[in-house]
């Protein structure tokens, strides 16, 4: 039966957040890197320096508006939809796992560039205490979220649209495109000590995320994603929790955390650890590891709320750890050992999977999935992802 989330709205309370610190990142780890990994620190600062003279593009910097006619409305196109050879002028059809590079998505690209700029600049500010980095980060935040002339409207009514379908309206799947904002908010927390990030800026940004959360929980598009039975549903929950905590809506965050095991883990993970909704995809390795990555993100956030999701399991043995154990048997193996479909990017998604094994070992303070020591971690050792436990 379809579950409605409209009733959650009564939980939105105007209370101040006590979670004004990074929830995913291990900042102590970053500070240790000053000694243990100075090359990473140099790279972070170099990346931030490159951003200082650049002006980011906002949601209004696109040639064509969403069907609403408002350039402030975010719009993107579904990546796996293509023209139908049997009906060239008709609606696009789905080719799972095959990205249509002819489809342009400037808002998606610009949102990603903006979020990455906040991450780079905030990390540099945390490392150096130089206000130029905070000032630039705040300027970029204002462009995307706060300035009336350039801000994004707090909705995804036109995310992952499909040519010829739904009268140009978006789909719940489009909400995966704002997942980067979860990590971005950890970066924003590093800016709070800067005088460049005024109390007014902080309050207005919190209000934007409160409005976006309200849209998530009351819109048809948001309800589609809330009811998704695969990685999209997990990603929805994490965004809802992170945005709620940032906006001071702790009761909403707690509700999602409390329901997570029953609603997501038990429904998506089999007793043997399989994730059926991900394994039927044409990129089964990718989506299984992708969903595990999201689950581990939720574990980190839940830990700050004194909930241990990583070790929770159902009566018949379903758990995040079981899902990880199931996928671990394919880590570092050739594709011929994988009994499911993976039409492309095997090596890239192997690295994604192996990094999740690294993360779970760090979270448990155990060396169980040591395969990551036998594989090159260089792609991640010079990446901000190492800030994740």
For residue range 207-262, list pLDDT tens digits in order: 999 999 999 999 999 999 999 999 999 999 999 999 999 999 999 999 999 999 99
The secondary structure of the chain in percent helix, strand, coil, rounded to multiples of 5, reads 55, 5, 40
Q: Which residues pair with 342 in a beta bridge?
A: 283
Model confidence pLDDT, tens digit, residues 72-85: 999 999 999 999 99
Q: What is the mean pLDDT of residues 317-330?
A: 96
Domains of the chain: 24-223 (1.50.10.100)
pLDDT computed for residue 375 by the predictor: 65
Q: Are 283 and 349 in contact (CB under 8 A)?
A: yes
Q: What is d(CA 189, CA 197) in angstroms, rounded to the nearest whole number?
A: 10
Element holding 381 (H helix, E strand): helix 378-381
First to last CA, the chain: 36
What's the pLDDT band for 13 if we cut at 50, 70, 90?
very low
- Please name the residues in contact with 365: beta carbons below 8 A apart, sequence gap of 6 or more: none
Neighbours of 180 (CB within 10 A): 17
pLDDT computed for residue 374 by the predictor: 66
pLDDT computed for residue 10 by the predictor: 36
**Would you say residue 45 has pLDDT above 70?**
yes
Q: What is the mean pLDDT of residues 138-163?
A: 98
pLDDT computed for residue 32 by the predictor: 83
From the list 332, 314, 322, 346, the residue with the least C-alpha distance to 374 is 332
pLDDT computed for residue 40 by the predictor: 83
In terms of pTM, does the model score above 0.85? yes
pLDDT computed for residue 12 by the predictor: 37
Average pLDDT, the chain: 91
What's the pLDDT band for 39 if we cut at 50, 70, 90?
confident
Q: What is the mean pLDDT of residues 350-366?
A: 90
Model confidence pLDDT, tens digit, residues 61-108: 999 999 999 999 999 999 999 999 999 999 999 999 999 999 888 999
């Amino acid at each position: 039966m379809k579950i409605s989330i409209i009733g959650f709205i009564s939980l939105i309370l105007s209370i101040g957040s006590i979670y004004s610190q990074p929830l995913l990142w291990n900042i102590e780890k970053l500070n240790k890197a000053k000694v243990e990994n100075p090359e990473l620190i140099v790279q972070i600062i170099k990346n931030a320096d490159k951003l200082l003279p650049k002006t980011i593009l906002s949601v209004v910097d696109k040639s064509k508006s969403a069907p609403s006619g408002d350039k402030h409305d975010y719009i993107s196109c579904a990546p796996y939809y293509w023209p139908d050879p049997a009906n060239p002028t008709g609606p696009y059809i789905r080719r799972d796992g095959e990205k249509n590079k002819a489809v342009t998505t400037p808002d998606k690209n610009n949102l990603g560039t903006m979020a990455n700029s906040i991450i780079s600049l905030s990390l540099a500010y945390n490392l150096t205490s130089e206000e130029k980095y905070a000032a630039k980060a705040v300027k970029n935040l204002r462009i995307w979220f706060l300035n009336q002339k350039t801000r994004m409207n707090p909705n995804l009514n036109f995310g992952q649209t499909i040519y010829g379908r739904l009268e140009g309206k978006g789909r719940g799947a489009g909400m995966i495109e704002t997942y980067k904002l979860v990590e971005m908010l950890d970066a924003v927390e590093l800016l709070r000590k800067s005088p460049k990030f005024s109390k007014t800026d902080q309050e207005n940004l919190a209000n934007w995320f409160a409005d976006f959360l309200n849209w998530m929980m009351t819109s048809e598009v948001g309800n589609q994603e809330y009811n998704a039975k695969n990685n999209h549903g997990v990603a929805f929950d994490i965004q809802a929790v992170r945005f709620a905590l940032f906006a001071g809506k702790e009761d909403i965050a707690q509700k999602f955390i409390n329901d997570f095991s029953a609603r997501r883990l038990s429904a998506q993970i089999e007793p043997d650890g399989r994730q059926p909704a991900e394994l039927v995809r044409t990129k089964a390795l990718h989506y299984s590891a992708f969903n595990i990555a999201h689950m581990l993100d939720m574990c980190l956030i839940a830990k700050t709320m004194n909930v241990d999701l990583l070790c929770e399991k159902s009566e018949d043995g379903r758990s995040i750890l079981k899902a990880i154990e199931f996928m671990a048997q394919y880590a570092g193996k050739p594709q011929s050992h994988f009994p499911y479909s993976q039409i492309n990017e095997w090596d890239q998604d192997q690295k994604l999977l192996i990094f999740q094994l690294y993360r779970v070992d760090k979270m448990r303070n155990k060396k169980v999935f040591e395969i990551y020591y036998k594989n090159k971690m260089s792609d991640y050792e010079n990446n901000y992802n190492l800030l994740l436990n």
